[in-house]
Amino acid sequence: MEITPVILVVDDKPQNVELLEAHLLNQKYKIITASNGKEALEKLSNNIIDLVLLDVMMPDMDGFEVTRRIRRDEQNCLLPIILVTALHEIENRVMGIEAGCDDFLSKPIEKTELLARVKSLLNVKNYNDITKKYKIELELKVAERTSELRRIHKNVKLASLETIQKLSKASEHRDDYTSSHIKRMSRYSEAVARSLGLNDSDVESILYGSSMHDLGKIGIPDHILMKPAKLDPDEWEIMKSHAILGAKFLEGSEAEFVKAGESIARHHHEKWDGSGYPDQLKGKEIPISCRVVFRCAHFCTPV
């Protein structure tokens, strides 16, 4: 459907408005008029305008000021403006260009020149509208695709996490822990990490990585893992190997939360005084994620 361009004619003298309307008659344009700058700005606010024919010499607010105000309006900053002036001095033309007008027409108005300039600037406006519409559509598509990719990424991450949690649950189950222990401990670790002021990325790595801390227990024989009595020294050494085993299960991943899980699995039994295992790390040698998980793992007793 062809859209009729709307032209706003602004002039304080009714005879000038009538003359411009007469020249534009039968050109398939819709004409709106205003008799001063204030009225012109109101009409621009309340109508979709495609071009402005603007008289320069008007009382209260001249054409230069109206042009400046139109240019400051985000909606109309590219709207074609033709200044209609009886002033021929270069200085006035420069003022018009500086104010932001697109073209000039000198009084007395010559019809052919008026129609040619109006047609030319309406073509520019049409091109700008198409570009603007295309840009909006493109931004919407990019936003949609970004949202979709975020959703897919989140699902893949959740699926990976759930797989690891189920593996952890299997190992914990043999150790008479319940699955809720893993989730509870992970949430405590997240809360502690956040209270320590760690950034969102590190907090997330601790949340996910902490659920893998005892993954290595999968590799510990039942008669040791579930032995009701105290372990002898040899059995204790095997039991302690769950830290290195867990880290080996998780090594080589590109995912940040699995890398965090590897570190947590290896070092979650290190102690501040260096008496822990497997690497006897001391104090701040122990990654902060492992210090957080060590505390929370001992705080969250199984139910």
Q: Residue 39 — φ and ψ, nearest 5°?
A: -65, -40
Q: How far is the CB of 156 from Fe ion (least distance, A)?
A: 28
| Residues 152, 165: Cα–Cα separation, whole Å | 20
Position 172 contacts Fe ion (CB under 5 A): no
Q: How far is the CB of 250 from Fe ion (least distance, A)?
A: 14
Position 262 contacts Fe ion (CB under 5 A): no
The candidate with the shortest Cα–Cα distance to 50, out of 10, 6, 9, is 6
Strands of 6-10's sheet in order across: 30-34, 6-10, 51-55, 81-85, 103-106
Nearer Cβ to Fe ion, position 190 or 214?
214
Which residue stretch of 35-43, 90-98, 173-181, 206-214 sits at the interface with Fe ion (rule: CB under 5 A)? Answer: 206-214
Nearer Cβ to Fe ion, position 172 or 214?
214
The candidate with the shortest Cα–Cα distance to 201, out of 297, 289, 281, 290, is 289
Using alpha carbons only, how large is the chain's radius of gyration in Å?
A: 37
Nearer Cβ to Fe ion, position 100 or 219?
219
Q: How far is the CB of 243 from Fe ion (least distance, A)?
A: 6
| Residues 195, 212: Cα–Cα separation, whole Å | 21
Which residue stretch of 9-17, 31-39, 211-219, 257-265 sits at the interface with Fe ion (rule: CB under 5 A)? Answer: 211-219
Nearer Cβ to Fe ion, position 64 or 277?
277
| Residues 179, 205: Cα–Cα separation, whole Å | 20
Residue nearest Fe ion (C-beta atom):
214
Nearer Cβ to Fe ion, position 103 or 214?
214
Which residue stretch of 66-74, 100-108, 192-200, 208-216 sits at the interface with Fe ion (rule: CB under 5 A)? Answer: 208-216
Which residue stretch of 33-41, 136-144, 210-218, 281-289 sits at the interface with Fe ion (rule: CB under 5 A)? Answer: 210-218
Q: How far is the CB of 137 from Fe ion (least distance, A)?
A: 54
- Applying CB under 5 A, what is the total number of residues that bind Fe ion? 1
| Residues 55, 228: Cα–Cα separation, whole Å | 98
Nearer Cβ to Fe ion, position 53 or 225?
225
Q: How far is the CB of 242 from Fe ion (least distance, A)?
A: 6
Position 214 contacts Fe ion (CB under 5 A): yes
| Residues 252, 151: Cα–Cα separation, whole Å | 25
Nearer Cβ to Fe ion, position 245 or 258?
245
DSSP helix/strand/coil, 7: strand
Q: How far is the CB of 176 from Fe ion (least distance, A)?
A: 14
Which residues of this chain interact with Fe ion, rule CB under 5 A? 214
